[in-house]
Amino acid sequence: TDELLLRSEKLNAVGQLAAGVAHEIRNPLTSLKGFTQMLHAMSKGKEKRYFEIMNAELDRIKMILSEMLVLAKPQSTHFRKSHIKLILHEVITLLSALANMRSVDIQTAFDDNEVAMVLCDENQLKQVFINIIKNAIEAMHSGGILRVHVKTQGNQLCIEFIDQGEGIPEDRIPKVGEPFYTTKEKGTGLGLMVSRKIITAHHGDMEISSKKGHGTTVRVILPVES
């Protein structure tokens, strides 16, 4: 227990430092982005392309910073009783264009005899579902089906995301969700870490099972609000 306490204290200190750094980098970054966009507008030909790349890379830094801020800072949360199915539907609608583009068909199966409510921060849960669904789409390189199942099991709600993507090799599964672990050229490796943090704050749990070449299932468990 002592070691665990020490470790979480260390993590806290590192987290605070990271949040400070992330915050400090934001302002100069905004100015860099502004001038890059200005130069982009003024340039032509090959140069225009270089400024586009600079702009895209600055966006990437911004994304990493905002994910780091979520991790390090206690977020102000607004817990409300919400319908999980509505939240899921909204997220799926939001991502349907991306799914279409990648030939991914999102199929939902909600057992509708239950009106499942959870006590949650809607925006944070949306962020979790977006992370998970985006990962699933990104894993299905030549399209496929993503199944989203919602089941109630006693006083728990189980949301499953079952994809037909490339899967994760067994020895890599423990790595998934570690900070900065990514296998993508443009990945941040922070999405699942942020997601896990949010789910833990909701007294829930997140599990990943996968088979290389067959697909991945991400299971989110949340307590039902009666």
Do residues 118 and 225 make contact, with C-beta atoms less than 8 angstroms apart? yes
Binding mask 112-141 for Mg ion (x = CB under 5 A): -----------------------x------
Apex 152 CA angle, 146 and 155, nearest 5: 140
Rounded to an integer, what distance in angstroms lies between the CA atom of residue 118 and that of residue 111?
Answer: 15
Instruction: Pick the piece of the chain touching ligand ADP (CB under 6 A) from 13-21, 36-44, 52-60, 181-189.
Output: 181-189
Is 190 or 199 the residue whose CB approaches ligand ADP more closely? 190
Strands 104-110, 117-120: pairing is: unpaired
Closest CA to 82 of 172, 166, 202, 163: 202
CA–CA distances in Å: residue 40 to residues 25, 61, 221: 22, 18, 46
Nearer to Mg ion, 116 or 132 (CB): 132
Which residue, among 60, 176, 164, has the nearest Cα to 106 in the 3D structure?
164
C-beta of 25 vs 130, nearer to ligand ADP: 130
Q: Which residue's CB atom is positioned nearest to Mg ion?
A: 191
Q: Which two tokens stand for residue 165?
A: 């993507």
Q: Is 167 in the site for Mg ion (CB under 5 A)?
A: no
One of 136, 157, 220, 222 touching ligand ADP (CB under 6 A): 136
183 binding partner (options Mg ion, ligand ADP, none; Cβ < 5 to 8 Å by kind): ligand ADP
Q: Residue 124: which of 69, 75, 192 has the closest Cα?
A: 75
**Among Mg ion, ligand ADP, none, partner that 118 touches (CB below 5 to 8 angstroms by kind):** none
Binding track, positions 137-176, relative to ligand ADP; x by CB under 6 A? --x-----------------------x-xxxx-------x
Selected from 92, 128, 191, 196, the binder of ligand ADP by CB under 6 A is 191
Contact present, 34 and 54 (Cβ < 8 Å): no
- Which residues of the shown chain bind ligand ADP in the complex (CB under 6 A)? 131, 135-136, 139, 163, 165-168, 176, 181-184, 187-193, 216
